[in-house]
A and B are shown apart, each in its own frame.
Chain A
Amino acid sequence: MLMAGKAAWALITFVFSALMLLMLYLSSKKIYIPQIREHPGVHAISEAVGRAAEMGRPVSFSPGTSSLYDAKYAGDTAAALTLLNAVAREAVKSGSKLIVGISQPTVLPVAQAIVKTAYTMEGKAEEYVEGDTVRFYSPDQWGFASSYMGMMYRERVAANFLFGGHAAEALILAETGATVGAMQVSGSTNVYQLPMFLVSCDYTLIGEDQLAAAAYLSPDPAQKGTVFGQDLAKLICVVLIVIGAILVTAGSKILSQLLAS
């Protein structure tokens, strides 16, 4: 039995999921491989890491202050972890020191595994220092912020990456990064903190940009199919909004009622 008010949710979730999975299938079978516009911020990752290596200064990364089981920003955290994978590989390859600052204990084991793997794959396992390459700071947002700030100053980081769910500490971290002269790439789905990143960082992946980046950074090109699925879902939303607005103008509230059913 469907819950009242959830029919539209079930239908939309189902249709969107089906579209995304279909596109994933089509691109994995090479029937239709979409051309995805990549965010310049993603290309800037290797530039920033390379610059840090030239200067002989470290690279820092924060996957946010939201946990892995956060009821709103779990997707944000997951996307940040895939970006960590990309940054860690670049950093290990270029030979710059990598420092990952962790706030949430649930994110810690995952980040440790990702970074450790990145070092092992380049044959530099001995450079990974337990407790030091991936640093746990504090689950408290301000405890984390004060440590991350102090770290950026003391280590004089040259490239700083801020992804995932950051709250009010966003501007503090980004401005400190700007003060120490780091090149910064950031992203978040927290709409209240995005403006802070946008103003202070060199590149910012706005909302969905970050979630899509997680797909096209994957070594498997078929994953780009889901990004095209996202596009189709958005086009459906555009159509719904335009038709709905015309209907409302004509005096019919049918679409609004359907969406509330």
Chain B
Amino acid sequence: MAGIWRSVASAALLIISMVIMLDFALKNATLQALATDLNNWAVVVAAFALGIGAYSLILRHGRMITRKGPLWPYSIILLVTMLVFVVTGLVTGSITSPQYNWIYSTIVMPVSSSLYGMNAFFIASASYRAFKAKSWEALVLLVAAIFLMLKNAPIGAVISPILPQIGGEIWDFATATGMRALLIGIGIGTLALGLRVMIGQEKTPLGGAE
């Protein structure tokens, strides 16, 4: 049984991939409808997968609370907040209801923007700690970064109008060369990895060879 089911999985992987790839190149209504459905199926399966996550989370924090492990009061906060969101969302029946909107914009939005903005602080500490001209490569990285900063901040143009020009040239060069090569390489690398997954040579992303 296990063997058969694993073969079904390998076959499904190859066939579904082929359908979606062919749908991109061929003009065929059936293929298109099938590809759209498969895409939706993935969304549905992923929605079910969240249950595994929730179970895993509740298991860990429940254990923390019952065993009075370190940080157990925080586990209570976590589980209660989760419950409040689920109940509010399901009772009001919509994530755009005023009540739901209030708890969302009071908790999730400020924490999100704080963490997002914290990048600016970490850029500062990384600038001091990590941008060291230890090698010629590091020097190139550092010089390019400084010129781009002088291009982006209006102060650069005030110091000298040449600075943003140099920054602009570096930016154009970077997008036309290094970025281009990176993107091409990523495209080719993804194709190679994808092929190996499709034909069953690489089973790790499926959960290992077992």
Contacts and interface: CB of A to CB of B under 8 A. Distances in A.
Contacts of B46: 67-69, 105-106
Contacts of A79: 193
Residue among B21, B63, B188 with the highest chain A CB neighbour number at 10 A: B188
Max chain A CB contacts within 10 Å: which of B108, B192, B207? B192
A239 interface: no
Interface in A105-164: 105-106, 108-110, 113-114, 117, 130-132, 134-137, 139-140, 142, 145-146, 154
A253 interface: no
A199 B141 CA distance: 9
Contacts of B50: 105, 139
Nearest to A1: B27
**What 4 A-B pairs come out closest when comparing CB atoms?**
A211-B189, A208-B185, A75-B190, A113-B207
A207 B185 contact: yes
Contacts of A214: 193, 202
Interface string A203-243: 00011101110110010100100110110011001000000
A234 B184 contact: yes
15 contacts: A68-B46, A69-B46, A79-B193, A130-B59, A171-B126, A175-B126, A191-B183, A198-B141, A208-B186, A211-B189, A214-B202, A215-B202, A218-B202, A226-B195, A233-B188
Interface string B116-140: 1011001101100111000000000
Contact of A20 (B71, B131, B195): B195
Given A113-B210, A223-B202, 10 more contacts: A20-B195, A69-B42, A81-B205, A146-B115, A154-B71, A191-B186, A207-B189, A208-B189, A211-B189, A234-B184
Contacts of A30: none
Given A81-B205, A140-B108, A229 B60 contact: no
A161 B102 CA distance: 37
A199 B46 CA distance: 34
A53 to B, nearest CB: 23
Nearest to B114: A142
B173 interface: no
B97 interface: no
A75 B194 contact: yes
Interface residues of A, number: 77
A185 B130 CA distance: 15
B201 A24 contact: yes
B192 A229 contact: yes
B162 interface: no
Interface stretch (A2-10, A37-45, A54-62, A90-98): A2-10
B184 to A, nearest CB: 6
Interface of B: 21, 24-28, 42-43, 45-46, 49-54, 56-57, 59-60, 63, 71, 108, 111-112, 115-116, 118-119, 122-123, 125-126, 129-131, 141, 179, 182-186, 188-197, 199, 201-202, 204-208, 210
Contact of A136 (B42, B53, B130, B201): B53
A172 interface: yes
A200 interface: yes
A92 to B, nearest CB: 13
Nearest to A84: B204
B117 to A, nearest CB: 10
Residue among B28, B43, B183, B202 having the largest count of chain A Cβ atoms under 10 Å: B202
Nearest to A168: B116
A82 interface: yes
Given A21-B195, A24-B201, A230 B59 contact: no
Contacts of A6: 24-25
A220 B209 CA distance: 12
A13 B188 CA distance: 9
A166 to B, nearest CB: 12
B198 to A, nearest CB: 9
A161 to B, nearest CB: 15
A20 B202 CA distance: 14
